Structures are given as structure tokens and as C-alpha cells.
A and B are shown apart, each in its own frame.
Chain A
């Protein structure tokens, strides 16, 4: 069991390197910051239509490439809760919050922290604390997840 956990850490690190590589490629070649919420949000609210093609191509890769790797695994499951009310509230919070903050785990987290950007670091501290608090309340106090 402990061996399995350590393997998760190694694959986590390997996957992390791939994520960093993707962010680096997007920055050095396209000159863009790889932020998932900004890339999608700019399409959804119209603020990023001037480079819509680049955004759509990125999202197409993000959506279409993972299923090509799924056959390499025994099972791939997001284990998302069956409670659709929780899913909807969570989705709305993530959508509104990331756009207000101008970034999420990829933009503020990966790209912001590595640039030693004060905004990225502060955002990451707040979403980690809020996530931990939401988890503690929803799981250990309310028992809804």
C-alpha cells in the first residue's frame, strides 16, 4: 500500500513536469501564459475573441489528447460526487472566482509562482486556504461530500 502511494507521488511529479513543459512551450512559442480559466473564460465572455483560434486549438488539445492515453490505464475515473447540487454550486464558484481573480491553479499557480509573481503567490495562498476550509466544513462538519 505504501509503495502504491509513493508511485502516485512519482507519477505526480512526472505529470507535473509535463504540465510545466506545456506551459513553457506555450510561453516560448506562442508568447502566452497558460491559464486554463483565462483561455476558456475569454471565449465564453467574448473578451478574448481577438485570438479565438489559438484558444480553441489549446482547448481542443486539452480535451482530445487525454482520451488517447486512457487505454494505457486499467481504469480512469474522476470520482466526482453524484450530488449534482454540489457539482453545480462548485462549478459556479470556480467559474466566477477564477474570472474575478484572473486566474486559477495553472495561471496563478504554475505560471505565477514560477515567475515569483506576488499576485500569483497571494492568489494561491487564498485558494488553498479556502479549499481546505471548504473541504473541512463540507466533509467533516456538514458531511455532504
Chain B
């Protein structure tokens, strides 16, 4: 129960931050990516604001074996750069640029994002359903 309460609070604070920062507005995100147009640097301030506290919080987290609720702290992933990391990030970036939405803001804006926002969320969920199949095909191709 406690776990779900803190999960809800984290999600709520994340959503509030996305709203306050302007990241639920696709024109701000696309303005950042549009280096050949009317460039908008807001996203760099958002990322900076988020990364700075997290830099220090990771230092605390990595000194502990378990979290406050007893879950083992997430292990540092192997610094392995597979093809899926690169292909996936390129595909994600293309979609992010086209619509100006990434998964967090897509969910945070559900209540006021209208039909377009709901359609994006459904398409994104559909993409997540087929992704394991896509991954299998890519891996088979890479192994061949």
C-alpha cells in the first residue's frame, strides 16, 4: 500500500513538473528540435533542472543496498551499446519530432490533449505491443 502511495505521489509530481515546465506543449518540444527554424531552448532548462538534483540523488542511492521500502537499488546496467539501443532511439526520436510528444507528456496531457492526444497514446500503446516482435526480427537479422 505504502509503495503504491509513493508511486502515485511520484507520478503526480512528474506530471505536475511536465505541465509547469511546458513540456506538455508540443510547440515547445518541436521548437527545441527545430534548429533550422525559430529555435526554443526551454527543453535544455527542463533537462538541466531535472538532471542536477538527480545527479546528487544517484550518489546517495548508489551508497545504499536497498530503497526506503526495501527494494534492491537498480543495478548499474552493463555499458553495452547494442543495435537495439541505437535503432530504438532513432525510431523514438523520429516519432518525438513528428508529434512533439514523448511517453511522459503523452500520459500527463491525457485529460486536456483532446482527440489527437488520445490517438497518439493509443498508437504508442499499440507500438509497445508489437515492439517485442520487432525486436525478435531485428535480433534474428543481426545474428544472420
Contact = CB atoms under 8 A, between A and B. Distances in A.
A143 interface: no
Interface string A1-44: 00001001111111111111111111111111110110011001
Most A-side CB within 10 Å, residue of B11, B37, B43 = B11
A77 B20 CA distance: 12
Contacts of A31: 66-74
A45 B129 CA distance: 5
B109 A25 contact: no
Contacts of A129: 90, 93
Contacts of B57: 20, 23-24, 27-28, 114
Interface residues of A, number: 108
Interface in B33-76: 33-37, 40-43, 45-55, 57-58, 60-61, 66-74, 76
A91 B121 contact: yes
B93 A62 contact: no
Given A91-B126, A110-B50, A79 B11 contact: no
Contact of A60 (B8, B24, B25, B93): B8
B81 A44 contact: no
Interface of A: 5, 8-34, 36-37, 40-41, 44-45, 47, 53-67, 69-70, 76-82, 84, 86-102, 104-106, 108-111, 113-115, 117-119, 122-124, 126-136, 138-140, 145
28 contacts: A12-B22, A12-B43, A15-B22, A30-B6, A31-B72, A32-B74, A33-B74, A34-B10, A45-B131, A53-B7, A57-B7, A63-B15, A66-B16, A78-B24, A78-B109, A78-B112, A87-B116, A88-B119, A90-B98, A99-B127, A101-B89, A113-B51, A115-B58, A115-B76, A119-B79, A132-B34, A134-B96, A140-B36
Interface of B: 3-28, 30, 33-37, 40-43, 45-55, 57-58, 60-61, 66-74, 76-77, 79-81, 84-117, 119-132, 134-135, 138
Given A8-B22, A88-B120, A122-B86, 19 more contacts: A17-B52, A18-B14, A19-B50, A40-B125, A78-B26, A80-B120, A89-B95, A90-B96, A92-B127, A93-B95, A95-B125, A97-B90, A113-B47, A126-B86, A127-B89, A127-B96, A134-B94, A135-B30, A135-B37
